Amino acid sequence: MNGTATTGMAVRAIVAAALMAATIAADDKPIASLTERIAAWVESDARDRPDGWTEYRGAHYLLISDAKPKYPKRLLKHAEAVRQYLDREFTFLGQGQVPPAQVRLFAKEGDLSAYTARNGTLNVNRIVLAVKYGGKGEWERAELGKRIFDHWLFYRAPHLRAVAPYWLKEGLRRHVGWGVAAGATLKTKMDPYNRKMIREHIRLERTQPMREWLSGPDLKMMSDSSSRLAGSLVNWFLTKARSPHKDLLQRYVSALTKSLAQAEKELGLKPDAALNAESATQLQSITGRLAPKAPGVRKQAAQLVFGDWDDKAWSKLQGAWLRHAK
């Protein structure tokens, strides 16, 4: 029951591990709220750490580390900035209550590898990472941002997460991963490496057509380069897109939510069924029931948003994004 969630991989195992962890309550007393159960588990699990580890507390995250204080302090500040950004800017994704999470920051990669070898990597409520590349911070910041988004979406919109296309989930987590804490907020933009990579894809004409991404069958997995392209697309939608593409991402998510509601009705599922789950088996059953409906939900959402688009409209969308990427 340890480790972190990875978007698009081992979803059922992640769901099971997260809810198994959430059933652990302080003093074995029943706690009504799922959020309270998870908060109690975070506290209990954090006490299981080697000597010499220090605890750092924020409003939403409990960080423990054996690294020099400047590293965990910097990452905790970044974690809270990411959370505030998600709560403020991504209200269109859902309204579920997001519980606290634990972050374990290892001073050495070898210790992290040994820890994950013993404990696995499938607990959405525990984020584990190590100081890398001399502690400059860029890698740790990006990984932490993406994993905080995984945790946040898991609880904020569990049903939507079960049916959303891979490009959307991966694009959003890349967008968040590129963010840099600026005071109590988050500044989001592509870093130079990603912009250079996108230029190269454009030069070699390897860019995925937007029509295939937004209205075609879902991709089960993306290469690293395609994931970066998805991040670029979502970043553009959220920061730079102008009319008629401004708010297109929000309109698509709204259509996806509408289609999801119909699927929930057909299955007899309440919109908050997953949030009210009391066991790993129950939540696994809920998400398992939604899975066969996912292709139809995505197809219907695409029809609602893009049904009247012609080749010219798709060409304008692709062209606007590519000009931004250059």
Q: What is the pLDDT of residues 221-255, one digit of tens each?
A: 667 777 888 888 888 899 888 988 989 999 999 99
Mean pLDDT over 146-151 rounds to: 94
Question: Is residue 187's pLDDT more than 60?
Answer: yes
Task: Name the pLDDT band for 288 (thresholds 50, 70, 90).
Answer: confident
* Per-residue model confidence (pLDDT) at position 185: 75
Average pLDDT over residues 317-322: 84
Under 8 Å CB-to-CB from 168, ≥6 apart: which residues? 230, 234, 252, 253
Residue 152 has pLDDT above 90, yes or no: yes
Query: What pLDDT is recorded for position 24?
Result: 39
Is the pLDDT at 158 greater than 50? The verdict is yes
pLDDT digits (tens, 9 = 90+) for 84-124: 999 999 999 988 889 999 999 999 999 999 988 888 766 88
The predicted pLDDT at position 35 comes to 80
Domain ranges for the chain: 1-156, 158-326
Residue 10 gets the label, from left (phi > 0), alpha (psi -120 to 50) or beta, of: left
Beta-carbon contacts of residue 261 (< 8 Å; ≥ 6 apart) = 271
4 confidence band (pLDDT: 50, 70, 90): very low
Mean pLDDT of the chain: 82
DSSP state of 26: G
Highest mean pLDDT among 72-86, 262-276, 311-325: 72-86
pTM to 2 decimals? 0.84
Percentage of the chain exceeding pLDDT 90:
41
Under DSSP, is residue 169 helix (H, G, I), strand (E, B) or coil? helix
Alpha helices (H) in the chain, listed in sequence order: 11-22, 34-46, 70-89, 109-119, 138-156, 158-163, 166-177, 192-203, 210-215, 224-239, 248-267, 280-290, 294-306, 311-325
Question: What pLDDT, in 10s, does the model give residues 7-54?
Answer: 344 434 444 445 444 443 334 444 457 788 888 888 888 888 888 999
